[in-house]
Each structure stands twice: as C-alpha cells, then as structure tokens.
Amino acid sequence: AQSVTQPDIHITVSEGASLELRCNYSYGATPYLFWYVQSPGQGLQLLLKYFSGDTLVQGIKGFEAEFKRSQSSFNLRKPSVHWSDAAEYFCAVGANAGNMLTFGGGTRLMVKP
Amino acid sequence: EAGVAQSPRYKIIEKRQSVAFWCNPISGHATLYWYQQILGQGPKLLIQFQNNGVVDDSQLPKDRFSAERLKGVDSTLKIQPAKLEDSAVYLCASSQTSVRHGYTFGSGTRLTVV
C-alpha cells in the first residue's frame, strides 16, 4: 500500500525567504505525485504534479518540486515566499492502477513579515 | 469550467442525529471521491465511485455511513447516527479517468457534532 510522510508539521519562514517542504513516499513502482495547497475554509487546490519525464516540475504560484527516486522524495520549493503563501500544504501519491490518492498529514506554513 | 459543488458549507448537529451532504462533480468526470479531513490531518478516502459504481469503500464505516451516486453524476454522503468523532470537513472531489490528471476538490462541508 502507498503512504506519504510529511515530516514537518509546522514551518515558519520570513517573507522573501526561500522555502522547501519535505515529502517522502512509499510505493513499489513509479508513483504519480502531487502537491496541493489548502487555505483556511477552502478546498484543496492543485499546485503541481509529476508522473513521468523531467524530474523537476513547475507549478502555479511560482512553486516547483523535484522527484528523487533514490530518496523516495518529492520536495516542494519556492525561491521567495509571499505572505499570501501562508496555508497548509499536502503531498499526495497515486498508484498507477486505480485512481486513489493517499495524502500526507500536511505542513502548515506561516509567513513572518 | 464550473468546479465541484458541495452543500451545505456548514452543519451542526447533535450526536445520534443524521446528516446528508451533497456533491455535484465537474461535468464529464467519471470518478467521484468522498474524503474525510479531521482537523490537523490530511484527507482520508472514504469512498470512490466510477460512474455510478463503487470502486473502493474499504475505509467507509458502513455501520453508520452510506453513499450513493445515482445516474453517475451527483452524489450524496449520509451519516446516521452521527458520533462526536465524525466532526470533520467532508471533501468531495472528481477526476477524469486517470489519476494522472489529479483531482479537483470542492470547498467541503464542515460538520460539527455536539
């Protein structure tokens, strides 16, 4: 069965600083990997996804993520954080067979002025 | 394109009462999901439909939860009777045939059981 671990429950960064959110997955084959963002009281919005090809993927809002098979990781990065990026971020993994996504526990990002 | 519609947005009920949530997916999306998100946790899949058939309901507490997707479009999730631990946000999502497209989520229904 697939699983996702987000080791950092909370992260605080200063506005303008760089950001990296960690995600480790467990799955036997090449997974489909996703990052979603959730603002308070809202549903989840897709930031980016990876399923094959270039291991560095670009997403919306200036985010990118890098798939590293050797480390079973799919970390999310942003070079310069804006106050509006404060939200909860979820990494998810999908199996090739079937459509179910398994989510990590999330990382809450706070941005200091 | 219209998003995934859910209603109501909020619901407060007493324990042992019943409640129902409604979801209208994106037009043409064959797959529909209900997720439960308890405060401070990631979403957990309750049930997955492909058209009007159930694909996976292994994590649905069937003694109290039920769901249906009539005509392969709208879906309803019901809880009867509710328990305090059912307090959560219930998210509906839909997708095209393959998971590689990702899901589109609705805004969710926040349920509080008192």
What is the spatial distance between Cα B62 and Cα A60, in angstroms, rounded to a whole number? Answer: 38
**Residues of B in Cβ contact (< 8 Å) with A45:** 105
Q: Between residues B71 and A19, which one has the greater pLDDT?
A: A19
What's the pLDDT score for residue B70? Answer: 82
Share of chain B above pLDDT 90, in %: 77
Cα atoms in the 13 Å half-sphere on the side-chain side of A58? 3
What's the pLDDT score for residue A94? Answer: 86
What's the pLDDT score for residue A29? Answer: 77
Q: Token pair of A5, please?
A: 């671990």
**Residues of B in Cβ contact (< 8 Å) with A104:** 42
What's the pLDDT score for residue A72? Answer: 93
What is the spatial distance between Cα B114 and Cα A37, in angstroms, rounded to a whole number? Answer: 29
Residue A85 sits at φ, ψ, to 5 deg, of -80, -10
B53 at interface of A, judged by CB pairs closer than 8 A? no
B91 at interface of A, judged by CB pairs closer than 8 A? yes
What's the pLDDT score for residue A83? Answer: 95
Per-residue pLDDT of A13-71, as tens digits, reads 999 999 999 999 998 777 889 999 999 878 899 999 998 888 999 999 999 999 999 99
What's the pLDDT score for residue A96? Answer: 60
Closest to A72 measured CA to CA, from A101, A30, A14: A30
pLDDT(A6) > 80: yes
Closest to A75 measured CA to CA, from A18, A15, A17: A18
Segment B40-45 shows an average pLDDT of: 92
What's the pLDDT score for residue A97? Answer: 57
Per-residue pLDDT of B26-39, as tens digits, reads 998 989 999 999 99
Longest C-alpha distance within chain B, in Å?
Answer: 40
Burial class (CB in 10 A: 0-12, 13-18, 19+), A9: exposed
Helices (H) and strands (E) in chain B, counts: 0, 11
Distance of CA B65 to the CA centre of its chain: 10
